[in-house]
């Protein structure tokens, strides 16, 4: 009986434990913050010796520094006592051994992590590391199979064929074919065919052909009934040949006429679709070097035979290329008969923008007026009102400018609201009877956009050149908000803390992304603070910004210090000093580019802290004499990314005569595009050497044809001001606001 009661007690204890573990877990953020232990191995204090790190931290440090052998050697040791993060440790161990295999060309070191994972297959099936770990596990097994393959090992991997990429599956099927050759030739032939369907491979194809010959298998390759299928393509092929012969003979008019016939008489055909932009290419070749607005009238008469929709597409293409002269020509031509439909919206927008960027202000105002009249309520019409206001400012028609900005604000288009309000203030300031209203509008802008570049400027101007923080010192209410974690979130949180303590920041970031969000600003602030102290800056910046939007009292130096971090200071300060730059500029650029996210990667494939695209990184690395860089992995390393990016922004500042805003525009849009923008109008080109930050000399910020670049320049200038304010609580607003960001001699061109 005693044993029965004991079994019953054990059963009840197990049941109650299971129920308890399924209960939501309460997290007191304040207490967690007080006991937080965090390490940044990517920004390790130079005074801290690597040998003082724990095995799991030392292993990751070796991986970061690409010391693959040392990293792999610590794998088993790092697994001990770290059961919560075994999946992450196993993934790092295997990754390091794979890299070590590449460099040492010795596959023996792969056996230990592969065997460990074979014994702990549950780790391959769960956890946020699963996808990358499985791919590396597969790669490691394929590496080992090259040295020693057995049917059992091949079949073991093929059992999971639904999770194997086609490339690897093709290899495994080829191996299976080899094993089957001696015992079951048809089976071998089948596996070879399956392998070749996934990936063409000459050795496999040769083996299959040899087997087919051995089995006396032959297939007919004749395909009857195809006569005449291409008959209808003859005329198009003939026209294309004629066009190519004319191009070769430099008879551009004949080539153009032939290309136009293809686009007008064979609309929608395969050849016409393939050569759809050929008339444009030939025409541009004919007018190459012509002066503004000049065109070959006979050539353009041919172009106008093509449907206006296609000419409208070409106008957009030319505008994107920065050829505003021809974009205007094509948009104006395509507008005939397209005034009121959706195509007309785009064409008026293209024509107005192109004329504006060329300095043809009266013509631009005409297009913008029609756009606002015929297509009111659209985003394009709102932009037209803003651009019309900017043109009137340039022409010193301040009352007309104010009218346009008022109209733009009335459209209630959020993306143009800040611009319209700021330039409305500047227009009103220049009208004697509207100065009082200018002050009122400035206060409205400051309340809505206190930490924008324009908000900071107006705040300082309202206080005789001194900046005053919009809120008092931060006072938090006692924590009453709770965080409750359920299901996998509890494991995410536990792993996040363990990884953060060990310095595995990227893995911790992956875990943190699964944690719940809160719309409560006070809780949002505390969570953002926790993330900032954990070196998860992208997440901290996003959460803190959301909290400050919800609760204005959070807009304080204490809060901003957390989201304007000073990470990677040794690298930033050392590289900035090398090129006579202020660390504030480099830090501000990183903050905007990547939010201090080490592995940040944009849709345009810009990489790392300073968001360098591979071609730029390769060019800069070559100029700096950096050899054997591994792309993209090396570009993600702060000790490489920061020197590359700092050199690049320094060289752009030199190219643009020491003018920081123009250099920032070139960093974002590319120097060629930025140079094209500045060369189109003398009033813009002259500003490069002028080096001014007076409001009227910054109109071009919002005239840029790239919205992202317009925002980018202002955001980084805003960052520099906030970093300086957080450092000194005072900025001299009476000087050129960016002149202290470098100490270079002007490189006038």
The question of whether 593 is a catalytic residue gets the answer: yes
Other C-beta atoms within 10 Å of 576: how many? 22
632: left (phi over 0), alpha (psi -120 to 50) or beta: alpha
274: left (phi over 0), alpha (psi -120 to 50) or beta: alpha
Q: Name the one residue in this structure whose structure tokens are 């956009």.
A: 449
Residue in 240, 593, 698, 703 annotated catalytic: 593
From CA 413, how far away is CA 29, in angstroms rounded?
Answer: 38
Q: Measure Cα distances from 206 to 167, 168, 187 in Å.
A: 18, 19, 16
Using the CB atoms, write b or e for 117-153: b if 16+ within 10 Å: beeeeebbeebbbeeebbbbbbbbbbbbbeeebeeeb
Q: Please name which of 344, 398, 400 lies closest in space to residue 372, comparing C-alpha atoms.
A: 344
Count of residues making up the chain:
749
Phi then psi dihedrals of residue 742, to 5 deg: -155, 160
Distance of CA 250 to the CA centre of its chain: 43
Q: Please name which of 428, 379, 313, 416 lies closest in space to residue 695, comparing C-alpha atoms.
A: 428
Other C-beta atoms within 10 Å of 314: how many? 24
Q: Name the one residue in this structure whose structure tokens are 């080109």.
A: 685
Q: Please name which of 89, 96, 145 lies closest in space to residue 120, comparing C-alpha atoms.
A: 89
From CA 255, how far away is CA 246, in angstroms rounded?
Answer: 5
From CA 15, how far away is CA 691, in angstroms rounded?
Answer: 74
From CA 713, how far away is CA 698, in angstroms rounded?
Answer: 11
Structure tokens at 284: 């541009």
Q: Measure Cα distances from 579 to 179, 663, 740 in Å.
A: 62, 15, 14
Assign 3-class secondary structure to 551-576: CHHHCCHHHHHHHCCCCCHHHHHHHH
* Contact present, 344 and 375 (Cβ < 8 Å): yes
* Contact present, 314 and 282 (Cβ < 8 Å): no
* Contact present, 719 and 588 (Cβ < 8 Å): yes
Q: How far apart are the first and last CA of the chain?
A: 99
Rg (CA), the chain: 33
Helices then strands (H, E): number in the chain? 40, 2
* Contact present, 233 and 270 (Cβ < 8 Å): yes
From CA 558, how far away is CA 360, in angstroms rounded?
Answer: 48
Q: What angle do CA 338, 339, 341 make, to 5 degrees?
A: 70
* Contact present, 523 and 515 (Cβ < 8 Å): no
Interstrand relation of 25-27 and 483-485 (parallel, antiparallel or unpaired): antiparallel
Alpha helices in 181-233, H assignment, sequence order: 185-198, 202-214
Distance of CA 459 to the CA centre of its chain: 32
Q: Measure Cα distances from 288 to 285, 463, 723 in Å.
A: 5, 54, 48
Phi then psi dihedrals of residue 485, to 5 deg: -105, 140
Distance of CA 247 to the CA centre of its chain: 41
Catalytic residues: 593
């Amino acid at each position: 009986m005693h044993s029965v009661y004991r079994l019953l007690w054990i059963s009840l204890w197990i049941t109650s434990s299971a129920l308890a573990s399924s209960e939501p877990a309460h997290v007191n953020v304040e207490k967690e913050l007080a006991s937080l232990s965090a390490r940044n191995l990517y920004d390790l204090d130079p005074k801290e010796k690597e040998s003082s790190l724990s095995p799991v931290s030392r292993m990751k440090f070796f991986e970061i520094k690409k010391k693959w052998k040392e990293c792999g050697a610590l794998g088993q040791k790092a697994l001990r006592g770290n059961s919560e993060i075994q999946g992450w440790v196993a993934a790092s161990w295997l990754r390091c051994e794979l890299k070590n295999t590449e460099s040492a060309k010795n596959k023996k070191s792969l056996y230990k992590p592969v065997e460990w994972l074979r014994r702990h297959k549950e780790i391959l099936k769960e956890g946020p590391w699963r996808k990358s770990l499985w791919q590396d596990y597969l790669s490691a097994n394929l590496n080992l199979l090259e040295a020693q393959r057995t049917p059992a090992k091949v079949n073991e991997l093929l059992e999971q064929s639904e999770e194997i990429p086609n490339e690897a599956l093709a290899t495994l099927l080829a191996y299976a074919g080899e094993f089957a050759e001696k015992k079951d030739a048809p089976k071998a032939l089948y596996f070879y065919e399956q392998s070749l369907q996934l990936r063409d491979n000459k050795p496999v194809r040769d083996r299959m052909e040899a087997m087919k010959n051995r089995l006396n298998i032959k297939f007919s390759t004749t395909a009857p009934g195809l006569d005449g299928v291409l008959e209808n393509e003859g005329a198009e092929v003939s026209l294309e040949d004629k066009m190519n012969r004319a191009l070769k003979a430099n008879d551009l008019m004949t080539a153009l006429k032939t290309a136009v016939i293809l686009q007008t008489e064979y609309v929608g055909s395969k050849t016409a679709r393939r050569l759809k932009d050929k008339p444009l290419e030939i025409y541009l070749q004919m007018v190459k070097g012509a002066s503004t607005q000049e065109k070959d009238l006979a050539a353009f008469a041919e172009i106008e035979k093509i449907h206006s929709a296609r000419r409208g597409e070409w106008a957009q293409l030319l505008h994107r290329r920065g050829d505003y002269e021809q974009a205007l020509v094509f948009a104006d031509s395509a507008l005939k008969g397209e005034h009121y439909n959706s195509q007309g919206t785009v064409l008026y927008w293209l024509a107005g923008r192109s004329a504006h960027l060329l300095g043809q202000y009266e013509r631009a105002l005409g297009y913008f007026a029609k756009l606002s009249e015929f297509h009111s309520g659209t985003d394009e019409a709102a932009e037209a009102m803003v651009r019309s206001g900017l043109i009137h400012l340039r022409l010193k028609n301040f009352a007309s400018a104010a009218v346009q900005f008022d109209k733009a604000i009335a459209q209630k288009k959020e993306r143009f609201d800040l611009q319209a309000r700021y330039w409305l203030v500047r227009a009103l300031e220049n009208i004697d009877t509207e100065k009082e209203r200018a002050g009122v509008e400035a206060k409205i802008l400051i309340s809505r956009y206190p930490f924008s570049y324009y908000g900071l400027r107006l705040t300082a101007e309202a206080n005789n050149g001194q900046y005053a923080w919009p809120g008092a010192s931060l006072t938090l209410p006692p924590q009453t908000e709770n965080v409750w974690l359920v299901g996998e979130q509890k494991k995410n949180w536990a792993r996040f803390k363990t990884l953060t303590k060990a310095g595995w920041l990227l893995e911790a970031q992956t875990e943190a992304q699964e944690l719940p969000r809160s719309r409560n600003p006070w809780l949002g602030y505390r969570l953002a603070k926790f993330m900032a102290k954990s070196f998860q800056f992208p997440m901290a910046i996003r959460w803190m910004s959301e909290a400050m939007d919800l609760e204005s009292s959070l807009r304080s130096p204490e809060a901003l210090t957390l989201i304007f971090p000073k990470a990677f200071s040794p690298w930033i300060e050392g590289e900035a000093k090398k090129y006579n730059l202020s660390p504030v500029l480099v830090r501000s650029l990183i903050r905007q580019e990547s939010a201090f996210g080490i592995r940040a990667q944009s849709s345009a494939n810009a990489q790392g802290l300073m968001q360098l695209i591979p071609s730029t990184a390769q060019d800069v690395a070559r100029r700096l004499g950096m050899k054997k860089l591994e792309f993209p992995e090396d570009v993600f390393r702060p000790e490489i990314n920061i020197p590359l990016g700092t050199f690049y922004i320094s060289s752009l500042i030199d190219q643009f005569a020491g003018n920081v805003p123009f250099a920032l525009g070139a960093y974002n849009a590319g120097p060629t595009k930025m140079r094209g923008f500045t060369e189109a109008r003398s009033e813009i080109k002259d500003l490069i050497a002028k080096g001014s930050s007076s409001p009227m000399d910054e109109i071009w910020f919002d005239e840029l044809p790239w919205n992202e670049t317009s925002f980018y320049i202002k955001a980084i200038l805003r960052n520099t001001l906030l970093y300086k304010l957080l450092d000194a609580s005072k900025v001299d607003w009476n000087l050129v606001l960016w002149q202290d960001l470098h100490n270079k001699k002007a490189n006038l061109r």
